[in-house]
A and B are shown apart, each in its own frame.
Chain A
Amino acid sequence: MTFEGWDFCRIDDELSEEERMARDTTRRFVDDRFKPLITEHFRKGTFPMQLVPEIAELGVFGATIKGYDCAGMNNVAYGLVLQELERGDSGLRSFASVQSSLVMYPIWRYGTEAQKQHWLPLMARGKKIGCFGLTEADFGSDPGGMRTRATLDGDHWVLNGSKMWITNGSIADVAVVWAKTGDSQDSIKGFLVEKGTPGFTASNIEGKFSLRASVTSELAFDGCRLKKDAVLPESHGLGAPLSCLNQARYGISWGVIGAAADCYETARAYALERVQFGSPIAGFQLVQEKLVTMLTEISKAQLLCLRLGRLKDQDKLRPPQVSMAKRNNVSWALEIARLAREVLGANGIADEYPVIRHMLNLESVYTYEGTHDIHTLIVGRDITGLDAFHAGA
């Protein structure tokens, strides 16, 4: 009897009914509604916007927030939802991560009650789409060096600067933009900038070979005047945007398991069907070694995420733990995609199979939300007490 599926260690037994139901309903949605569309959208470089109302109806956006028309699920259930979305495509998971972790979360955590009441229900229903502006062309891993400035002018904030590599930038109705209000990184604050505000423009970044089914933009602010209440008042310093990234990185750690699992299942099925030298290639030792490595690393990644999810639900999760998971799981997901690509031979580069798409997507995931190397330094600092970020200074 052969082992089917990819829950080799029976992690399913550790999940609650609610968690399994959240995963299963998302899996069906992705299989039925998203998968038939993704290849064409990846080719064209577009996100299937027509699905946004359905994704919202499913309750994915801001799913861990209690109240404000959000589902109020625990973090394991939410992680499993993201895993299933990314089994579809990293672009789909990115869309949900940005909306939930990078826009709804900062509004919920750092916003006024009025801001929450206004934005969160609209965003949960998918009526308003958000984006998150932190990275700049010259400040990626080192966001504290940002040049974007917000200065008070009477009753208005005036925003100047630009942001780069912003997911959903040009399709967003509102941008959470991080800017310095003084010289130090402690002066960083978040601002809600609505589409159409004079002085705010968003333009798309073209020519991507990765995350093609996701909009990536550049935001520019030229004397952009915002009402005084556009600020997220509880955000003080670089810690605020980093806390949002910590939410998103937690989700990425789960999400990439989905991409890896899709690659593994594709590679296994292909290897069992594909006959060379008179027998299925799955019978060859080198192919088996690849499949075993894939499933082992998927299982380890799941166990790590499940544990971190439980810690997060108990409010015991520390950011370096999330860094460990993001670093490990993304790096292995990428490796698994490459192994699957090898197993599929020439078919591995064709979009008839999902493998090359996942592989290309994961190159972005490897770099965004803290690069692999930056997460190494975060964990390194945590276990040695020595900061390697400023080693060149």
Chain B
Amino acid sequence: MKYLVTVKSVEDPEIKIKIKPDGTSIETDQVKYVVNPFDEIAVEEALRLRDAAGGGEVVAVTIGRKDAQQQLRTALAMGADRGVHVVCDQPLDPTLVSEALAKVVEGEKPDLVLMGKQAVDDDQGQVGAMLAERLGWGQASFVSKETSLESEDEKAKKPGVSIAGTTLQVVREVDGGMESVTVTLPAILTTDLRLNVPRYASLPGIMKAKKKEVKELKLADVVADPTPKVKILKLEPPAQRKAGIKVADVPTLVTKLKTEAKVL
């Protein structure tokens, strides 16, 4: 089995984002980048599937700036076998990204593509579905699992999804419950938060990752027209929240909830 995982380099969600004076992009100087946390879950799941099957190959792919290679290397340090980096330093939209990924998939011919359900920078969550459409493949979105992240299976790093022959069986998170589905391979799988706890890139893993192959492609190699169809017009920070108040006791709280907040 061959697994393709996407790794998007995103601004560290822990840091404060600053909007540039142009109002349509954010300040990137001295900004720390990390692997999109949902993609880390996808990498982890691919590694578990490979290791549980006793073989296979995990290929990590990223599209973005030259220095996004550090995030690609992080996936390799976690244990992915090799990388593909579509190097580009221009605005992208889900249409372009899915077109580029479809081209990479055409070349790599994976049995399963694993992606985060969304990237935490722009939260669009469109690429998985678009890629499935372009390829004509089935897609399982918001993939989770029945057992908890404190379970013995999780501690033993067992995969949360299962593959039998050409059938992928997964559990999806839906409103108020879980849904079990099967999808015929080749397929796309997008990961939700509770699928697994991703491993840390280890120091020996980081050393090994230095020697792993990363194939570089240009955006022009994988898309016909690099003009984005979606344009960002304006970015605004959320309105500042007013400081809360402290109340003396529960009766005062109830009164205020009734008369001021009017929620009771």
Residues of A at the B interface (CB closer than 8 Å) are 1, 4-5, 7, 10, 12, 17-18, 20-22, 24-25, 28-29, 57-60, 63, 69-73, 77, 81
CB distance from B44 to the nearest CB of A (A): 14
Taken together as a complex, chains A and B put the C-alpha atoms of A17 and B33 apart, in Å, by 12
Given contacts A1-B18, A17-B73, A21-B77, contact A70 B204 (CB under 8 A): yes
A4 contact from B16, B201, B206, B209, Cβ within 8 A: B16
- Let me know if A18 and B207 touch, CB within 8 A: yes
CB distance from B19 to the nearest CB of A (A): 10
- Let me know if A18 and B16 touch, CB within 8 A: no
For residue B15, CB closer than 8 A to chain A, the reply is yes
- Let me know if B203 and A71 touch, CB within 8 A: yes
18 contacting pairs across A/B (C-beta < 8 A)? A1-B18, A1-B27, A4-B15, A5-B15, A5-B30, A7-B30, A17-B73, A21-B70, A21-B77, A21-B209, A25-B74, A25-B200, A25-B201, A28-B200, A59-B203, A71-B206, A73-B207, A81-B203
CB distance from A96 to the nearest CB of B (A): 11
- Residue in A closest to B69 when the chains form the complex, CB atoms: A17
* Inter-chain CB contacts under 8 Å: number: 60
CB distance from B226 to the nearest CB of A (A): 27
- Let me know if B200 and A58 touch, CB within 8 A: yes
Taken together as a complex, chains A and B put the C-alpha atoms of A86 and B128 apart, in Å, by 41
- Let me know if B203 and A25 touch, CB within 8 A: yes
Pairs of residues from A and B, 3 with the lowest C-beta to C-beta distance, nearest first? A59-B203, A71-B203, A71-B204
Taken together as a complex, chains A and B put the C-alpha atoms of A7 and B31 apart, in Å, by 11
CB distance from A24 to the nearest CB of B (A): 8
- Residue in A closest to B208 when the chains form the complex, CB atoms: A71
- Cβ contacts under 8 Å, A12 to chain B: 30
Residue-by-residue, is B25-42 near A (CB-CB < 8 Å gives 1, otherwise 0)? Answer: 001001000100000000
- Let me know if B203 and A20 touch, CB within 8 A: no
- Let me know if B30 and A10 touch, CB within 8 A: yes
Taken together as a complex, chains A and B put the C-alpha atoms of A38 and B65 apart, in Å, by 38
A21 contact from B18, B27, B30, B201, Cβ within 8 A: B201
- Cβ contacts under 8 Å, A69 to chain B: 204
Interface of B is mostly: helix
For residue B138, CB closer than 8 A to chain A, the reply is no
Taken together as a complex, chains A and B put the C-alpha atoms of A342 and B227 apart, in Å, by 55
- Cβ contacts under 8 Å, B15 to chain A: 4-5
- Let me know if B18 and A59 touch, CB within 8 A: no
- Let me know if A60 and B203 touch, CB within 8 A: yes
Taken together as a complex, chains A and B put the C-alpha atoms of A81 and B204 apart, in Å, by 13
For residue B202, CB closer than 8 A to chain A, the reply is yes
- Let me know if B70 and A17 touch, CB within 8 A: yes
Taken together as a complex, chains A and B put the C-alpha atoms of A17 and B70 apart, in Å, by 6
Find the residue from A18, A60, A70, A73 having the highest chain B CB count within 10 A: A18
Taken together as a complex, chains A and B put the C-alpha atoms of A77 and B204 apart, in Å, by 12
Find the residue from B200, B201, B203, B210 having the highest chain A CB count within 10 A: B203
- Residue in A closest to B201 when the chains form the complex, CB atoms: A25
Find the residue from B34, B74, B201 having the highest chain A CB count within 10 A: B201
- Let me know if B18 and A18 touch, CB within 8 A: no
- Let me know if A57 and B77 touch, CB within 8 A: no
Given contacts A18-B207, A18-B210, contact A59 B202 (CB under 8 A): yes
* CB neighbors of A among B194-219 (8 A): 200-207, 209-210
- Cβ contacts under 8 Å, A60 to chain B: 203
- Let me know if A21 and B74 touch, CB within 8 A: yes
CB distance from A335 to the nearest CB of B (A): 27
- Cβ contacts under 8 Å, B16 to chain A: 4
B206 contact from A7, A18, A28, A29, Cβ within 8 A: A18
- Let me know if B207 and A72 touch, CB within 8 A: yes
Taken together as a complex, chains A and B put the C-alpha atoms of A20 and B201 apart, in Å, by 12
- Let me know if B200 and A29 touch, CB within 8 A: yes
Taken together as a complex, chains A and B put the C-alpha atoms of A28 and B203 apart, in Å, by 13
- Let me know if A25 and B207 touch, CB within 8 A: no
Residue-by-residue, is B62-95 near A (CB-CB < 8 Å gives 1, otherwise 0)? Answer: 0000000110011001000000000000000000
Find the residue from A20, A29, A59, A60 having the highest chain B CB count within 10 A: A59
Given contacts A4-B16, A21-B77, contact A71 B207 (CB under 8 A): yes
- Residue in B closest to A61 when the chains form the complex, CB atoms: B203
- Cβ contacts under 8 Å, A59 to chain B: 202-205
Residue-by-residue, is B228-260 near A (CB-CB < 8 Å gives 1, otherwise 0)? Answer: 000000000000000000000000000000000
Given A1-B27, A25-B206, A72-B207, 11 more pairs with CB closer than 8 A: A1-B18, A4-B15, A17-B70, A20-B70, A21-B201, A24-B34, A25-B202, A57-B202, A58-B202, A59-B205, A70-B204
- Residue in A closest to B29 when the chains form the complex, CB atoms: A10
- Let me know if B200 and A22 touch, CB within 8 A: no
CB distance from B16 to the nearest CB of A (A): 6
